[in-house]
Amino acid sequence: MSDKQGFDTLAIHAGAAADPATGARQVPIYQTTAYAFRDADHAARLFNLQEVGYIYSRLTNPTVSALQARIAALEGGAGAVCCSSGHAAQIMALFPLMAPGRNIVASTRLYGGTVTQFSQTIRRFGWSATFVDFDDPDALRAAINEDTRAIFCESISNPGGYVTDIPAVAAIADAAGIPLIVDNTLATPWLCRPIEMGATLVVHSLTKYMTGNGTVTGGVVVDSGKFDWSASDRFPSLSAPEPAYHGLVFHQTFGALAFTFHGIAVGLRDLGMTMNPQGAHYTLMGIETLGLRMERHVANALAVARWLENDPRVEYVTYAGLESSPWNATAKRLYPRGAGALFTFAVKGGYETAVKVVGALKLFSHVANLGDARSLVIHSASTTHRQLTEAQQRAAGAAPEILRLSVGLEDVADLIADLDQALAAATA
């Protein structure tokens, strides 16, 4: 598969030749746990990583492999490892880099679940995170110390739909000799290709736009293959002998595929955060139409954001695709196809009115998800952020008067009509 082919061609064909055994044109769901070895020597070579092949589906599975190849092609990466969820992908991305006492520097503008994972859960591993505003390069540089092993941000970030200047952040990571990990869930490779902007690793929640219809929980880690793991002694998992494989050195042996092979041979083997073949199948089907869907998501989001911004019942809209957004210039420069389809807006009338709008919406579903074909809404202050004080809610972009929209693929006139009637009902 040539990477000279266009995005929509790769979205349909990458990783998916006709099945060699049957000629099946669509990628079969290989619903199997194990694979027969040709003989004892074949088995030994597979277990020694001397030959690449299928052993056991915790490690590799042909349906999942097809999805990995497709996503690696779309992101312009050397390889990819699928995982059981977006959160699993984040742990899988950090695992080869980290050790007790090491830290990451992460953006303050992140998916709420990621803030919890990084500020609380990873401490159990002896890892820690420092959160800084990634629009402030000096603060970012100052937060990096000799124990920092990665920088982490989202390309387009939740909940406000803000955009990150990835080349600027990548330059800082480069100067410090540490990898930049970008969560590209909200943008997808159709709107943003972080590796081309200098990212080392890309992670996704495949649960969202990549699958696109709210049917799968999945994740992926994509490696650019460009980071020199042997340039310092900071990444021994990749640059030093691995005792569990008779002293094999991943970077020396696998070169640009070192991180990917480590992810499968050590990460999936021992952490077991494996994606199942049925889920991989649904995500492959979703990705076939990714370009078409994202184009419509963005067009609908922009139309809804413009309509809301001009409505007297609305206080403000945070969408980076609007000229009024402080992130609009960055969005135009780095995200020319659009600033995604997730943003927040504030209603006049505070908490009471916001809750009434959610209750009155009919087409928009009130759910804790995003990136679905269906339009979704959530009132964060009464749900995901309800344990926080009002000051904390405001800092998180989840103030009492704020609603978050994930704009779907419906006819945009119907979406606007729904918002119009709900705002009317709430302010009557």
Binding site for ligand PLP (CB under 6 A): 85-87, 111, 113-114, 154, 158, 183, 185-186, 205, 207-208, 217, 219, 370
Nearer to ligand PLP, 61 or 158 (CB): 158
DSSP 209: T
Nearer to ligand PLP, 353 or 375 (CB): 375
The CB-of-312 to ligand PLP minimum distance in angstroms stands at 32
Residue 368, CB-side half-sphere exposure with 13 Å CA sphere:
9
Nearer to ligand PLP, 137 or 214 (CB): 214
Structure tokens, 112 = 């709420």
- Phi first, then psi, for residue 279 (nearest 5°) are -60, -40
The CB-of-83 to ligand PLP minimum distance in angstroms stands at 9
Nearer to ligand PLP, 217 or 239 (CB): 217
The CB-of-109 to ligand PLP minimum distance in angstroms stands at 10
Separation CA 375–CA 366 (nearest Å):
9
Nearer to ligand PLP, 165 or 242 (CB): 165
The CB-of-67 to ligand PLP minimum distance in angstroms stands at 15
Residue 410, CB-side half-sphere exposure with 13 Å CA sphere:
19
Count of other CB atoms within 10 angstroms of residue 374: 15
Separation CA 397–CA 160 (nearest Å):
7
CB-based contact 373:189 (threshold 8 Å):
no
The CB-of-104 to ligand PLP minimum distance in angstroms stands at 15
Q: Which residues pair with 366 in a beta bridge?
A: 377
Specify the residue for token string 């409505």: 311
- CB-based closest residue to ligand PLP: 86
Nearer to ligand PLP, 73 or 153 (CB): 153
The CB-of-327 to ligand PLP minimum distance in angstroms stands at 16
Separation CA 82–CA 220 (nearest Å):
4
DSSP 80: E
